[in-house]
Amino acid sequence: MRPARGGGAEVSGFVLWFTGLSAAGKTTIASNIVPELERRGLVVDHLDGDIVRTHLSKGLGFSKEDRDANIARIAWVASRVARAGAAVIVSAISPYEEARRHARSLVEPHSPFVEVHVATPIEECARRDPKGLYAKAFAGEIGEFTGVSAPYEAPVHPELRLDTTEATPAESAAAVLARLEELNLVSSEVVR
């Protein structure tokens, strides 16, 4: 028999939403947090923007309309999964304030929403440029590239803002975990 969770006790997950420029460090920090949350007894689901696109948004491009549709789908899924009890980590550029506000509005009726702005400056992102995308964008070979030829609207009041220029991924992940503890969303106690 599968146990009903806690005999009917209320359990809710949360959504930890990373927004920021391409190569800012969103996915790297998120990946560092997954095992930390699992060690604290949580079921974790990492919805990475690039991966989710292949499952939910094949055919959508990078116009504002298509980006908004993609983010709305990720947000809808994140809200369902968090409501079911998981810690959901989203890493997606999500450049538009309105789309992020919509995401929050889908999640908050059931679960806390924690927005983390990975605010690494574009100069540093372009220096890293792991996929060579900034070079192409600056050369005009990619249209609608966030921060170059498409806007990035920085969050005004994120739950946390990080600059990864001087920080290791582990240090950034530790800062996020500390914030989650402060918000009473995770325990500092390791259970497995």
Q: Where do contacts with its own copies occur on this chain (CB under 8 A)?
A: 1-9, 11-14, 40-43, 45, 47, 55-56, 58-59, 69, 72-73, 76-77, 80-86, 88, 184-185, 187, 191-192
- In sequence order, the 6+-apart residues with CB closer than 8 A to the CB of 80 are none
Q: Quick check: helix, strand or coil at residue 179?
A: helix
What are the C-alpha distances in Å from 159 to residues 59, 103, 141, 162, 178? 33, 14, 35, 10, 12
Give me the least distance between CB of 33 and its own copies, in Å please: 15
- List 22, 57, 91, 94, catalytic entry: 94
Closest CA to 49 of 12, 24, 82, 14: 24
What are the C-alpha distances in Å from 88 to residues 67, 131, 137, 141, 187? 20, 26, 31, 34, 16
CB of 13 or CB of 49, closer to its own copies: 13
CB of 13 or CB of 25, closer to its own copies: 13
Give me the least distance between CB of 132 and its own copies, in Å please: 30
Phi, psi of 5 (to 5 degrees): -65, 120
Q: Is 111 among the residues known to form the active site?
A: no
The Cβ-side half-sphere exposure at 29, using a 13 Å CA radius, reads: 32
Give me the least distance between CB of 82 and its own copies, in Å please: 8
Beta-bridged to residue 16, according to DSSP, are 89, 114
CB of 156 or CB of 190, closer to its own copies: 190
Give me the least distance between CB of 129 and its own copies, in Å please: 31
CB of 148 or CB of 180, closer to its own copies: 180
Could you give the residue numbers annotated as active site?
94
